[in-house]
């Protein structure tokens, strides 16, 4: 006779056919009782009182000498007891009741319910043992006179039965609520399935409609790539032209100051020579006029001297009317000559003043022309500097323009997957996404589609500017 050593706190004995006992091991005996399920049990032994079955045990041995159950009659009695109450019992008397078949639904989130009462091992001749592991008080059974406890069917006390009945009723109410919730969830799941099927149909239709547009987009991308290659070649050509132009401008700018300085010096020298010639001419004319004026002054002095002498001679000769008339006539003639000479002298002075004024004007014009030449030279140098700066700015902007043109060449490729984004008023908004190279981060590679009577397609364009086309 082989007895199973029934002493581990993880072992529980149960029966389902009123004849055979089965020992199960609980994977974690301290888990929440409401979470105990079938997969938490592991069968470790079978106990049956049959002599011909050598693979099974034929009795239970409790540890520390608390007793043992052996023999066909004792094993059958325990099996019937456990079958009626649907219990799984540990050596300490802790019970789990199988509640999987108590309602219409077979699974409510828990399958085995732990009871508050201990199993009546003394009824089967076993002494109670400590259950300190489960943090419960050790219950002591008081045997009344006569040596028997008040029992109900199955060997459980009436109080335990009533408590178990109330617990089952509470669980039935809870199961009813759970059943209603499950019905609502089933209805919601059916609705979601219908909507999902509708959305899947719309998505398939949308993919069919957008297939042609995607092909057109790929053709446009190929054309754009060829244009970009041409632009690159033109840009390289322009770069070379700009470099040549910059070298040429640098040479011209280096030569220009020397050339302008030479022209200015030549012009200044010519102006100086002209002014000097005019000054010499005016000086010669002044000398000539001065000589003429001197001669006129000498003549005037001689005339005055002769006139004075004649007047003295005329005054000494007091006789003769003819002599007086002749002297008066000569005095008149000398006076007229003197006035003429005075007039000529005044005209000469006026002419000399005019020549001086003309000379001053020529000098002023020379100074003004020199100032104008200096201003023109400064403006020319400023214009050359501005032109050089403009060329340098154009050269510095060229790499940026090339990079921008290269970025503009990146468009959505054919390797695109449409995925639903959201749903708005029976319309599905999908998005086609793909990996974008780091150097084209500023471009938008997103394609947004929207279905409906006014279906449109938005294609992410260059520089993030969307291009909207009719779907």
d(CA 206, CA 201) in angstroms, rounded, equals: 9
The beta-carbon contacts of 52-57 under 8 Å, at least 24 apart in sequence, are 57/2, 57/3, 57/4
For the cut 50, the answer to whether the pLDDT of residue 181 exceeds it is: yes
Residues constituting the chain: 471
Tracing tokens 């997969």 back to the chain, one arrives at: 39
Higher pLDDT, 74 or 264: 74
Element (H, E) at 366: helix 321-408
d(CA 416, CA 431) in angstroms, rounded, equals: 9
Residue 404 and residue 415 in one domain:
no
Residue 399 and residue 418 in one domain:
no
Residue 331 and residue 422 in one domain:
no
Instruction: Quote the longest CA-to-CA distance of the chain.
Output: 218
* CA angle, 43 then 44 then 50, to 5°: 100
For the cut 70, the answer to whether the pLDDT of residue 188 exceeds it is: yes
Top mean-pLDDT range of 176-190, 372-386, 436-450: 176-190
Query: If you average pLDDT over residues 406-415, what whole number do you get?
Result: 52
Residue 350 and residue 421 in one domain:
no
For the cut 70, the answer to whether the pLDDT of residue 248 exceeds it is: yes
Query: If you average pLDDT over residues 205-222, what whole number do you get?
Result: 85
Tokens standing for 373? 């030449």
What does the pLDDT look like over 143-162, one tens digit per residue?
Answer: 344 444 444 444 445 666 77
DSSP characters for 55-77?
A: SSB-EEEEGGG--EEESHHHHHH
Tokens standing for 84? 């009626």
For the cut 60, the answer to whether the pLDDT of residue 12 exceeds it is: yes
DSSP characters for 139-185?
A: P-----TTS-----TTS--HHHHHHHHHHHHHHHHHHHHHHHHHHHH
Residue 148 and residue 39 in one domain:
yes
**In the listed set 408, 435, 455, which residue is the last one of a domain according to the structure?**
408
Residue 255 and residue 388 in one domain:
yes
Q: Is residue 281 part of a domain?
A: yes
Q: Is residue 203 part of a domain?
A: no
Residue 400 and residue 465 in one domain:
no
**Any idea which of 44-48, 149-153, 305-309, 365-369 has the lowest mean pLDDT?**
149-153
Q: Is residue 307 part of a domain?
A: yes
Top mean-pLDDT range of 173-187, 302-316, 422-436: 173-187
For the cut 90, the answer to whether the pLDDT of residue 14 exceeds it is: yes
Query: If you average pLDDT over residues 386-411, what whole number do you get?
Result: 74
Q: What is the pLDDT of residue 275?
A: 78
For the cut 70, the answer to whether the pLDDT of residue 121 exceeds it is: yes
Q: What is the dihedral of CA 162, 164, 168, 170, to 10 degrees?
A: 70
d(CA 93, CA 136) in angstroms, rounded, equals: 11
Top mean-pLDDT range of 187-196, 265-274, 458-467: 187-196
Q: What is the mean pLDDT of the chain?
A: 72
Query: If you average pLDDT over residues 295-309, what whole number do you get?
Result: 74
**Any idea which of 4-13, 59-68, 263-272, 286-295 has the lowest mean pLDDT?**
59-68
Domain that holds residue 27: 4-156
**In the listed set 367, 389, 408, which residue is the last one of a domain according to the structure?**
408
Residue 430 and residue 351 in one domain:
no
For the cut 50, the answer to whether the pLDDT of residue 465 exceeds it is: no
Residue 12 and residue 152 in one domain:
yes
Q: Is residue 187 part of a domain?
A: no
Q: Is residue 212 part of a domain?
A: no
Query: If you average pLDDT over residues 160-176, what whole number do you get?
Result: 83
Tokens standing for 359? 């000379």
What does the pLDDT look like over 65-110, one tens digit per residue?
Answer: 678 888 888 888 999 999 998 899 988 888 888 887 665 445 555 5
Residue 416 and residue 395 in one domain:
no
Q: What is the dihedral of CA 416, 419, 425, 427, to 10 degrees?
A: 40
**In the listed set 137, 156, 175, which residue is the last one of a domain according to the structure?**
156
- Total domains, the chain: 3
d(CA 232, CA 404) in angstroms, rounded, equals: 11
Residue 382 and residue 436 in one domain:
no
For 43: left if phi > 0, alpha if psi spans -120 to 50, otherwise beta; the answer is beta
* Percent share of the chain, pLDDT over 90: 4
Residue 72 and residue 149 in one domain:
yes
């Amino acid at each position: 006779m082989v007895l199973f050593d029934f002493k581990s706190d993880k072992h529980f004995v149960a029966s389902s056919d009123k004849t055979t006992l089965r020992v199960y091991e609980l994977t974690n005996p301290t888990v929440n009782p409401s979470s105990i399920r079938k997969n938490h049990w592991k069968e470790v032994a079978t106990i049956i009182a049959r002599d011909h079955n050598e693979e099974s045990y034929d009795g239970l041995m409790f540890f520390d000498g608390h007793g043992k159950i052996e023999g066909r009659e004792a094993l059958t009695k325990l099996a019937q007891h456990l079958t009626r109450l649907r219990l799984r019992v540990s050596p300490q008397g802790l019970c789990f009741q199988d509640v999987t078949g108590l309602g219409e639904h077979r699974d409510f989130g828990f399958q085995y319910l732990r009871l508050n009462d201990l199993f009546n091992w003394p009824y089967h001749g076993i002494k109670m043992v400590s259950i300190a592991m489960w943090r419960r008080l050790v219950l002591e059974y008081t045997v009344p006179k006569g040596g028997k406890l008040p029992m109900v069917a199955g060997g459980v006390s009436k109080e335990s039965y009533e408590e178990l009945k109330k617990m089952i009723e509470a669980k039935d109410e809870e199961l009813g609520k759970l059943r209603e919730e499950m019905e609502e969830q089933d209805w919601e799941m059916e609705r979601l399935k219908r909507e999902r099927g509708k959305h899947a149909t719309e998505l398939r239709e949308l993919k069919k409609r957008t297939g042609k547009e995607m092909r057109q987009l790929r053709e446009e991308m190929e054309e754009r790539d060829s244009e970009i290659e041409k632009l690159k070649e033109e840009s390289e050509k322009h770069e070379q032209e700009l470099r040549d132009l910059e070298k040429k401008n640098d040479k011209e700018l280096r030569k220009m100051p020397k050339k302008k300085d030479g022209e200015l010096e030549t012009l200044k020298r010519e102006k100086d020579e002209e002014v000097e010639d005019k000054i010499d001419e005016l000086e010669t004319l002044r000398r000539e006029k001065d000589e003429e004026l001197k001669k006129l002054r000498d003549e005037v002095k001689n005339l005055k001297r002769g006139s004075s002498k004649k007047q003295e001679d005329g005054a000494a000769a007091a006789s003769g009317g003819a002599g007086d008339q002749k002297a008066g006539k000569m005095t008149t003639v000398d006076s007229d000559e003197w006035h003429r000479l005075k007039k000529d002298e005044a005209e000469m002075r006026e002419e000399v003043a005019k020549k001086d004024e003309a000379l001053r004007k020529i000098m002023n014009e020379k100074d003004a022309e020199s100032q104008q030449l200096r201003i023109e030279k400064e403006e020319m140098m400023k214009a050359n500097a501005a032109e050089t700066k403009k060329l340098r700015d154009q050269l510095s902007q060229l790499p940026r323009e090339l990079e921008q043109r290269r970025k503009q060449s990146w468009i959505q490729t054919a390797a695109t997957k449409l995925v639903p984004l959201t749903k708005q008023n029976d319309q599905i908004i999908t998005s086609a996404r793909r990996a974008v190279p780091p150097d084209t981060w500023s471009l938008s590679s997103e394609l947004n589609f929207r279905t409906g009577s006014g279906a449109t397609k938005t294609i992410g364009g260059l520089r993030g500017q969307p291009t909207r086309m009719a779907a």
